[in-house]
Structure formats: C-alpha cells, structure tokens
C-alpha cells in the first residue's frame, strides 16, 4: 500500500530509525487516536517555522534573541563556545554554567571543505570586541546588560577537529585580550559532549584549563 510505504520511507530517513522500527511506528500510528496523529503532524509541520536560530548566539529559540542572551541572571563576562545548538541544551541541563553561549555550527575540517568562513567565528570575535569597547553604546541590548567579556570557554569535543577549532579560535582571540580556557578534563578523549553525564560536565566546568 502506497500510503504505508511512503511513510515508512520518510521515517527511515530519521537518525537511528531502520526499516523495522519505521514499520512498527507506521502500524502504531495507523491504530492511534486521531487527536494524537493530528497533533503530531501539526507539530512536525510547524517546527521549523517556530524554532529559529538566535541572531546573537546561534542557538535554537522561539523568540530572537533567545532567553539566555537576554536573561538578566546570566553572567555576561563569560561566553561558552560550542559546536551545535544541542550542546547548549546539554550544558544548560547541568545547571553548572550561568554565562552566555556562542554556537559555531560545526567544526573546522579542511577535509570536508569547512574553513573558518563556514563557521560563526567572525561573529564571536565581534561579540568579544563589542563587549570590550566602551564607546559602543548604541546597542539593541539594554545598557545594564553591558559588561566586558573576560573569558571565552571553548567547549568543543576533544576530537582532532574539536582541538583544531579550539586552537584556531584561541589564535584569533589572542589579539582581543580575553582569557581563553578549554573545557576538556573529564570528558573522555574522542568523546562527545552530548554523552557526557551531568556530573562530569559540572566537574569539567569547574576544572577548565587556560589554553
């Protein structure tokens, strides 16, 4: 039946979903409550329209700028640099960190043609500079949000590409007179931030090293 086949082939494009699981889901949906299937379809349909990238940090948000970037309780002297928007959620869940974020949108990898211009590195430098230049006061963010960026924490994964990206950013920020640290202790070598448990993450924030 075409309707079933079509849905199965769409579902198998999802990460971690094989044909078997896709079939199971399809049969489940076939029998499921109509309210549920409609809500699911609507949510999926409107997801990309409602979730945007924050124009400041690059994380996912419904309102731009995001709640972290505008939050009054956040420490504006520190920016944590991560690879993907989902890394922000992982670190937020640890409740250890109260500063701001900056999402790169990937890692440097000449092999895959990803150079510095493909990542949000220029906008990071801009943020650091902007926070540090006193005369710049015509900003959309209100005056009491202004504070000098004193530290940039690099939280890229400890892989070859994560290290390369961290070293590159350190080099770029050298001229800016900001402290650059690296989040690495505790996260297994070659490991993923996504899989680090909360405790490990909390520990690695406390033990971050100057790079």
Partner 1 sequence: MPFSYARFVSFRNLVDSEVDTKAERIFLIGENGQGKTNLLEALYYLCYGSSFRGSVDQQIPTAGNQGFGLAAAWNSLGELGEDAGLEDSISIRFDGQIKDIRLNGKALKDRKELVFHNPAVVFCHEDFSFASGDPERRRFFFDQCAGMLYPSYIDSLRSYKRILKQRNAALKESAHDLLDVLDPQLVRFGLALMEERQKLHRRFQAEFPRLYEYVSRLGRPVELAYFPSWQKGMEFDDLVTLLGSRRESEIFYGTTRSGPHRDRWDFTSQEGSFTDRASTGQLRLLSLILRIIQASAVASGEDHDDYGGERKSRWPILLLDDVLLELDVGKRRRFLELLPPPGQGAQAFFTFLPEEPWTEYENGDTIVYRVHNGRFENQKRL
Applying CB under 8 A, the residues found at the interface with partner 1 are 108-111, 115-116, 160-161, 163-164, 167-168, 171, 189-190
With respect to partner 1, which residue has the nearer C-beta, 177 or 190? 190
- Taking CB under 5 A as the rule, which mask of x and - marks residues 38-57 in contact with Zn ion? ----------------x-xx
Nearest to 87 by CA among 110, 68, 64, 115: 68
Helix axis angle for 85-94 and 198-206, nearest 10°, is: 90
Answer yes or no whether residue 121 interacts with Zn ion by CB under 5 A.
no
Q: Which does 69 bind (CB under 5 to 8 A by kind): Zn ion, partner 1, none?
A: Zn ion
> Exactly one of 66, 104, 149, 193 binds Zn ion (CB under 5 A); which one?
66
| 53 contact, one of Zn ion, partner 1, none, CB 5-8 Å limit per kind | none
Residue 28 class from Cβ within 10 Å (0-12 exposed, 13-18 middle, 19+ buried)? exposed
Q: Min. distance of Cβ 67 from Zn ion in angstroms?
A: 8
Return the number of the residue (65 or 106) whose C-beta is nearest Zn ion: 65
| Residue 59 near residue 103, CB atoms below 8 Å | yes
- Angle of the 19-31 helix axis to the 2-11 helix axis, nearest 10: 130
- Closest CB 167 distance from partner 1, rounded Å: 4
Question: Counting beta carbons within 10 angstroms of the beta carbon of residue 206, is it exposed (0 to 12), middle (13 to 18) or buried (19 or more)?
Answer: exposed
- Which residues on adjacent β-strands are paired with residue 75? 99
Site residues for Zn ion per CB under 5 A: 54, 56-57, 65-66, 69
């Amino acid at each position: 039946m075409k309707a079933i086949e079509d849905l199965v082939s769409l579902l198998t494009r999802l990460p971690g979903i094989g044909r078997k699981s896709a079939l199971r889901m399809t049969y489940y949906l076939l029998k499921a409550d109509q309210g549920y299937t409609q809500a699911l379809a609507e949510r999926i349909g409107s997801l990309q329209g409602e979730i945007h990238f924050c124009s400041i940090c690059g994380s996912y948000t419904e309102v731009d700028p995001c709640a972290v970037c505008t939050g009054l309780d956040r420490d504006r002297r520190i920016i944590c640099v991560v690879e993907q928007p989902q890394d922000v959620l992982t670190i937020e869940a640890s409740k250890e960190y109260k500063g701001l974020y900056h999402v790169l949108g990937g890692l440097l990898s000449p092999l895959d043609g990803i150079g510095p211009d493909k990542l949000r590195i220029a906008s990071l430098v801009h943020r650091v500079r902007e926070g540090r230049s006193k005369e710049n006061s015509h900003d959309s963010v209100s005056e009491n949000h202004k504070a000098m960026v004193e530290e940039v924490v690099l939280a890229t994964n400890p892989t070859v590409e994560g290290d390369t990206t961290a070293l590159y950013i350190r080099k770029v920020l050298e001229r800016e007179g900001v402290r650059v640290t690296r989040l690495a202790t505790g996260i297994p070598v070659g490991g993923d931030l996504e899989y680090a448990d909360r405790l490990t993450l909390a520990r690695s924030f406390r033990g971050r090293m100057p790079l």
